[in-house]
A and B are shown apart, each in its own frame.
Chain A
């Protein structure tokens, strides 16, 4: 396979991982609703035990997402993680406190108390989707960095990534991801918990979180489709190109179809769940739709001679899938390894089904087994 094909193939894998990661943020969305939906200790236990069987998937996907970027597009890994230092550290901090909270929350003599661990979960539930959303938004709006002749990054502001907060457009994607995570969290609870009170509150939360998600996402899409994007000119230079992302939509109809399919699936899952409260399968439609929609956004910003990590300080330092990738040998070697992905997906699916075949009920938490 040519280097060009391998670079595109690996960007597709990154896009897929990005989509799966956003879908799995339902764990964070659910955590952010812990005190809103869980009113009694038993209800909180149901919520944490429902999410607690899945949190490691989100965590692992984040790690693999970082690892895959390191292996396939190491220049992004070194530029973004080394440059937008503070944002990534805050994201990591929120995941570290999450990782112990499920296991330690209800253990006797846990040093910090149950409430502290629950607050850790809420911090992660709010911070992670917002910060990840803002970080991904910079793929479209750019970041102030410069690369030298040794491809080493210099961040041009002292804010080390917090500068993303100075760009209003980034807020729309940050909040879109946040409200999507909460929407998915509600749908996940509806699917996995057998409890009337929780079900009722999930439906209520679903309504306004879904509405805010749609509004913020559409606003973000409207802004980026109408603004100048970062593309590669025929001379190989990076330039600001009017309506670049809109042109990408027109020039990549298959990807546009995937985006529309994703949006339809997301809306179908939400609307049907709201109209038929006893229907529990909304998470699968909205989840699959989220994966497709996020996947297509990554393709939109990476394919068709587009810079996926533009520099606002020095246009020619912008990263593309061509200048940021690993060598031909490494991409090819990694591609053979990637053939295992269907097998990984298959066993995850099997184990997931085995654990969630029967919704969690208060009775199950009293059976003396391992619970969070």
Chain B
């Protein structure tokens, strides 16, 4: 945590992103504002369809457009609005300052080139290195991400590596930027087995000590959040519903959805001797027909009439903790009992 400086690296300012579909307009991200400071790990957490990946992909513009469209908002990276950049400029940004690791490394790596040459490509394209220099750097990076026998492994094709090793190779590639400012990790361990997931999370933690970078970590897994995050943004149906430092999210959640998410985890210590989980009822609303009210209202035990008609404004619990809920006081009262 000491490495977190107060300087802002990325600021997403009031982003609205929608997809035009045959059935109508899907507002995937609504009025979303997020800041990431230098050296910080911010996790975006939420369930499938909540807009967390769309948010991440709008930073380096990987959302398909059309049908996707930025309706409004700014994404400031070191003060530059990424949404105003030309195609060539954003491509340069992707290779130099904003890197990305994906959920399924098999589909993210090119199957017909060796992993070493794919990493070397980054050095050759963006830093004008010779092939030999670039391959030597690739070996160094493989050392850094703890791939055994790196001199041999850089000549391997993706299918010759295990899932965990492929994800390490992806991380090495993300680190190939000269100044890795921001690493976007989209569900980096979801496709991996638990013992391998533990290794990759451990590696990411180590790298943060060695390389100065900020991480935007997208996940649905509160365990990964607990392990990695400095700060947490909880999203639901395209909206930010709670934002806080990691300890408050777990120890003092104020949004009914955050509370429900934590209560849905069978690993929650409160279920040591319980026979049932406290599940959230109902299902995620259809983004096509969602109104302007709080999207969680139809599943929320605390919902009142106002929740169905208007989305709440921000309530500040303290300087690091904010919640968007009309009834967050009742959540607090109930928890106190």
Q: Do A and B bind each other?
A: no
Q: Which residues of A contact B (CB under 8 A)?
A: none
